[in-house]
Amino acid sequence: MKFDKRWVIPDTSPYFGLGVAENVTQAAAIVGQWNRNRGNGSTGSTDLLSLGVTVLLA
């Protein structure tokens, strides 16, 4: 019986992050996030930093 390597589930790595939001007015907030994906020796690791603004449209 042959084993098809395409169906092997790869090792999983942790994905985690941290975010914070600060309301500057009742209708707007500044949002910051940091996320990390830890890979293995062949995929490497990735960090994501983001900063954004949310606005309530009513």
Contact between 19 and 31 (Cβ < 8 Å): yes
Q: Quick one: pLDDT at residue 1?
A: 53
Q: Classify residue 6: in a domain, yes or no.
A: no
Outline where the chain has alpha helix (H).
none
Ramachandran bin of 52, using left for φ above 0, alpha for ψ from -120 to 50, beta for the remaining angles: beta
Q: Classify residue 20: in a domain, yes or no.
A: yes
When divided into structural domains, the chain yields a total of 1
| Overall size of the chain counted in residues | 58
Q: Which residue has the tokens 């999983």?
A: 12
**Residue-wise pLDDT tens digits, 1-58:** 555 666 655 666 778 899 999 999 999 999 999 999 887 777 778 899 999 999 999 8
**Residue-wise pLDDT tens digits, 31-45:** 999 999 887 777 778
Q: Classify residue 3: in a domain, yes or no.
A: no
Q: Classify residue 29: in a domain, yes or no.
A: yes
Q: What residues make up the domain containing 19?
A: 11-55
**Total Cβ atoms within 10 A of residue 58:** 3
Q: Classify residue 22: in a domain, yes or no.
A: yes
